[in-house]
Structure 1
Amino acid sequence: MNQRWMIVAAILAALCIQTPIVLNADLGCLLTTNEKILDGATLGVDVFELNPPLSLYMYMPAAKLARMTGVAPELVVIILVMIEIVAALLVIDRAAAAAKSGARERSLSTWSLALLLAILPGAVFGQREHIAVVALTPFVAITALRWRGFDPGPVAILAGVGAGLAMSIKPFFALVAGLPIVLGMVRQRSFRPLFTPETSTAAIIAIGYGAVVVTAFSDYLFTYAPMVTEAYLPIRNALGSLVLIPIAVIGASIAFLRLVAPRDLKMGSDVVPWLAASIGGGASFLLQGKGWPYMAFALCMFGIAAPLLHIRTKLRASVMIGGIATIVLIALYLSSPAPGFPPLEARVQALVKHPRLLTITDHVGLGHPLVRQIDGTWVGSSCAAQLLAAGAILRQSSSQPTQAEQAKLDGIIRFERRHLLEDVRNGRPDVILVDTYLLSSFRFDWLAWANSDPELQVELSHYREVEDVGRVRIFVDQPDLERPR
């Protein structure tokens, strides 16, 4: 047992290798927004976030601890996620011990899941999907134990808490947790798998969170969420381009299962819950429709875990090499950068030291984590910038909305312009970065879009374009011009 946890400690220590790439766009954005809230901003009034409140506030402990200790918030996130991974592994190990699993099986499970949860994420590390999958993994592991007829003991309640939190972070994770349960009901021809301690606890947590959102965040639910539904959720890639990833990952998982555990490819095998969780992750990826790699983390992680946890035969060298190569390819896919943006850190710093920064774009990756890397100040009210406006513009140009839908879309565009105007007036940015693409797919003049508002045009006239770098135009405030106060 000591050797097992020493290896886990070594795996977690290996995180130091990937620490420089942990600060991704979403993580930088959410940390920055939490810092603005700590400085007195109000969610839904001064700052806005597309996702439900837990997606934002789950990073508040890291932001607060960073201020209390003086440690970089990004490092605090790494430490807290490492603690979460260890807690998840302990829950899984205690459940396996209660089920009387053998020492070899428990060691293989601990080492494999430590690698998959700590190292596989790469640039996805610390994102909401990563944190949610870590919380959800004990639930899948305990479902697999029950599938074999074992009792995981009272620790199953903790697994239910994790699953409930994962579904609260993103409701799509209900597919990852739910598909193994549904298959369990089909197999047993009974609703019993739906009423275990872990499933009941997960449901209580998710329903309780919903009640909190209704009572404490009604502004988000009834004002901002409808705009998200109208303009953001319909943004989708073509199904043909999306479906290739789930087919490749699930196909590879089944192929390796045939090689490493040929007798386990049947309904009664405990590999089924892990494979079902991967399929649920694939369904979640397709339903979200954005095609962003981090949204495929559940698909990839459980897809790799299924064969890795069920090696029953001595592996041939070719199978081992093929498996390692496949895992490396999946890791590279998960860490693939957002396309299109040139390196801007040195260019912006050469213009203004520690600038007040704002972007006019629909992509969070233009301003984040750039603003943290240059030790600047983010003056925008939303890290996602004009993403809602982009969705509205796309719907107007690619479909024929009804008069009522057109009115809603126009209202969303006015909302975005109004807040951009307030950000420029109140934030007094030193540097404004202007994108020239819509949703990274179509050429679009964001500056013309902003200047179509007369008041915004007046404010932006005080900025001079100093450089055009790839798809990004860089504007700097002209301090010698008198600005209206």
Structure 2
Amino acid sequence: MNQRWTIVAAILATALLIQIPLVLNADLGWLLTANEKILDGRRLGIDLFESNPPLSVYMYMPAVKLARLTGIAPEYIVIILVIVEIVGALVVIDRAAAAAKLEAGERNFSAWSLAILLAILPGAIFGQREHIAVIALTPFVAITAIRWRGFDPGPVAIFGGLGAGLAMCIKPFFALVLGLPIILAAVRQRSFGPLLTFEACTAAITVASYGAVVFAVFPEYLFSYAPMVTEAYLPIRREFGSLLPLPIAVVGASIAFLRLVAPQNFRMWSDATPWLAASVGGGAAFLLQGKGWPYTAYALCLFAIAAPLLHVCTKTLRAAVAIGGLAVVVLVGFYLSSPAPGFPSLEQRVQALVKHPRLLTITDHIGLGHPLVRQIHGIWVGSSCAQLLAAGAILRQNGSQPTQAEQAKLDDIIQFERRQLLADLRNGRPDVILVDTYLLSTFQFDWLAWANSDPELKKELSHYREVEDVGRVRIFVDQSDLER
């Protein structure tokens, strides 16, 4: 046992050192900023807007509060808290394995393998919502795999259910990841029993409780903002055919390695089936989200690797298989960390114009303003990370033939975004405004003309002068700052 947790500690310490220079990405930067705004009095769904459900925002509140208490940068506290979460997940899995009386060697290898997959594999997506959610639901999949083998995981299974429920609250798409393994178990047993386990019931109760909280505490988000997200943001997706090759390749590679690792035991109802089913569920979630962003494939990749990897501890591997498997894992790691289409480096240019500016962007891309505003120690004055809803509405208007009722809804969404931008300009008085020239990083689009089409916005923007354009970005500065 000492050896087991000593090696886990070494893996997690390595992850901590790797993440210190990497962890601050666009999504994390925005969500930390959003929580700071909430602590300063902003209200989610009223004067602060985020397209994901409330838990996706508030899950970072402990890091922000601890940062204010300790003076440590919140992104570093996120690293520590995520590592604590990984430890908790590994302990739950190990306690379930102990209750099932699995051998020490299998428990050791499982702990080490999952520590690497949860802490090292994520790379640049460490600490993002999907990463945190997958850590939370991994014990549920492990417990399902233990039950699949005919063992009892004991009362610790309740914690697996709690984690799975929280994962679904973060993103409902994760219901596919945990749902497919238990549905297969029900089919295999020809019984509803797998759907009524402690962990399954706990997950369902957690989701229902969260729904009640959102209904009671965040009615503005639920009834005002969420419908606009559904209308304008969720339909933004890549072509299905361009997304499908990734799940096919990842699941196909997992099955191929399973055949190589355990050729005698490979069959429909093998011990690896729950892990493989979770990967298929992750692939389905990746396809349904339709964005094609690498981090949305994390569940698909992690459980696809775990399926054959957790068989290795009882097998003697050929060198070629081991090297091939390691190469695939490294490639998956590079894929998950591949950067999104981004922007030119703006830190030095912005700081040369105004030190620690009040910053605002006119764009649909979160990466223009975040984490830039934190890197330059500026102040974000926007009520959202970007004009995402306007972009979705514009795309739908130009890419299809909406009905008159749909057109009215899309016009209302675009007008809503303009009203919020106007409020941000008047209330925030930004020193610097960064204006994008692309729509969804794909089509050339004049965001400045879009804003200036509103007379009130045009009047506010007339106080700013363009000083430079860098690649796809136009930089505007308050004329009063230039005259100082």
- Structures share a fold, TM > 0.5? yes
The answer to whether the Cα contact below 8 Å between 1:357 and 1:429 also exists between their aligned partners in 2 is yes
In the alignment, what sits opposite 1:396?
A: 397
Alignment-mate amino acid for residue 284 of structure 1: A
Residue 337 of structure 1: how far off its partner (Å): 1.0
The answer to whether the Cα contact below 8 Å between 1:25 and 1:368 also exists between their aligned partners in 2 is yes
In the alignment, what sits opposite 1:348?
A: 350
Q: Distance in 2 between matches of 1:320 and 1:440?
A: 39
Matches within 5 A, 1:117-266: 117-266=118-267
Matches within 5 A, 1:5-16: 5-15=5-15, 16=17
1:429-476 Cα offsets, whole Å, 9 max, x none, are 111111111011111000000010111111111111111111111111
Residue 267 of structure 1: how far off its partner (Å): 2.6
Q: Distance in 2 between matches of 1:185 and 1:2?
A: 37
In the alignment, what sits opposite 1:367?
A: 369
The answer to whether the Cα contact below 8 Å between 1:462 and 1:481 also exists between their aligned partners in 2 is no
Residue 340 of structure 1: how far off its partner (Å): 3.4
1:235-273 Cα offsets, whole Å, 9 max, x none, are 010011111111111111111111112233213321000
The answer to whether the Cα contact below 8 Å between 1:48 and 1:382 also exists between their aligned partners in 2 is yes
In the alignment, what sits opposite 1:292?
A: 293
- Structure 1, unmatched stretches of 5+, are none
Q: Distance in 2 between matches of 1:69 and 1:88?
A: 26
1:304-351 Cα offsets, whole Å, 9 max, x none, are 111111114322222122111111111111111111311111211121
Q: Distance in 1 between matches of 2:265 and 2:381?
A: 55
SS of alignment partner, residue 102 of structure 2 = coil
In the alignment, what sits opposite 2:382?
A: 380
Alignment-mate amino acid for residue 59 of structure 1: Y
The answer to whether the Cα contact below 8 Å between 2:162 and 2:202 also exists between their aligned partners in 1 is yes
The answer to whether the Cα contact below 8 Å between 2:167 and 2:174 also exists between their aligned partners in 1 is yes
CA distance change for structure 1 residues 477 and 259 in 2, over 3 Å: closer, same or farther? same
In the alignment, what sits opposite 2:276?
A: 275
SS of alignment partner, residue 464 of structure 1 = strand
Residue 18 of structure 1: how far off its partner (Å): 2.8
In the alignment, what sits opposite 1:27?
A: 28
SS of alignment partner, residue 343 of structure 1 = coil
Residue 397 of structure 1: how far off its partner (Å): 0.3
Once structures 1 and 2 are overlaid, which stretch shifts more, 208-217 or 197-206? 208-217
The answer to whether the Cα contact below 8 Å between 2:295 and 2:336 also exists between their aligned partners in 1 is yes
Residue 480 of structure 1: how far off its partner (Å): 6.4
CA distance change for structure 1 residues 481 and 307 in 2, over 3 Å: closer, same or farther? closer
In the alignment, what sits opposite 2:92?
A: 91
Q: Distance in 2 between matches of 1:106 and 1:167?
A: 27
Q: Distance in 2 between matches of 1:426 and 1:268?
A: 61
- Structure 2, unmatched stretches of 5+, are none
Q: CA RMSD in A?
A: 1.1
1:27-84 Cα offsets, whole Å, 9 max, x none, are 1100000000101111122211111111100111111111011111001111110000
The answer to whether the Cα contact below 8 Å between 2:19 and 2:79 also exists between their aligned partners in 1 is no
In the alignment, what sits opposite 1:318?
A: 320
SS of alignment partner, residue 21 of structure 2 = helix
In the alignment, what sits opposite 1:64?
A: 65
Q: Distance in 2 between matches of 1:66 and 1:79?
A: 12
1:147-183 Cα offsets, whole Å, 9 max, x none, are 0000000000010100000011111000000000000
In the alignment, what sits opposite 1:44?
A: 45
SS of alignment partner, residue 473 of structure 1 = strand
The answer to whether the Cα contact below 8 Å between 1:464 and 1:476 also exists between their aligned partners in 2 is yes
In the alignment, what sits opposite 1:431?
A: 432
Alignment-mate amino acid for residue 95 of structure 2: R
The answer to whether the Cα contact below 8 Å between 1:85 and 1:117 also exists between their aligned partners in 2 is yes
In the alignment, what sits opposite 2:309?
A: 308
The answer to whether the Cα contact below 8 Å between 1:237 and 1:289 also exists between their aligned partners in 2 is yes
SS of alignment partner, residue 434 of structure 2 = strand
SS of alignment partner, residue 184 of structure 2 = helix
Residue 481 of structure 1: how far off its partner (Å): 8.7
Once structures 1 and 2 are overlaid, which stretch shifts more, 10-19 or 22-31? 10-19
Percent identity between the aligned chains? 78
Residue 415 of structure 1: how far off its partner (Å): 0.2
Residue 19 of structure 1: how far off its partner (Å): 2.0
SS of alignment partner, residue 172 of structure 2 = coil
Alignment-mate amino acid for residue 324 of structure 2: G
Residue 358 of structure 1: how far off its partner (Å): 0.5
The answer to whether the Cα contact below 8 Å between 1:264 and 1:271 also exists between their aligned partners in 2 is no
SS of alignment partner, residue 172 of structure 1 = helix
Q: Distance in 2 between matches of 1:400 and 1:447?
A: 25
SS of alignment partner, residue 475 of structure 2 = strand
In the alignment, what sits opposite 1:4?
A: 4
Once structures 1 and 2 are overlaid, which stretch shifts more, 255-264 or 203-212? 255-264
Alignment-mate amino acid for residue 101 of structure 1: L
The answer to whether the Cα contact below 8 Å between 1:389 and 1:416 also exists between their aligned partners in 2 is yes
The answer to whether the Cα contact below 8 Å between 1:340 and 1:471 also exists between their aligned partners in 2 is no
Q: Distance in 1 between matches of 2:45 and 2:98?
A: 46
The answer to whether the Cα contact below 8 Å between 1:33 and 1:47 also exists between their aligned partners in 2 is yes
In the alignment, what sits opposite 1:53?
A: 54
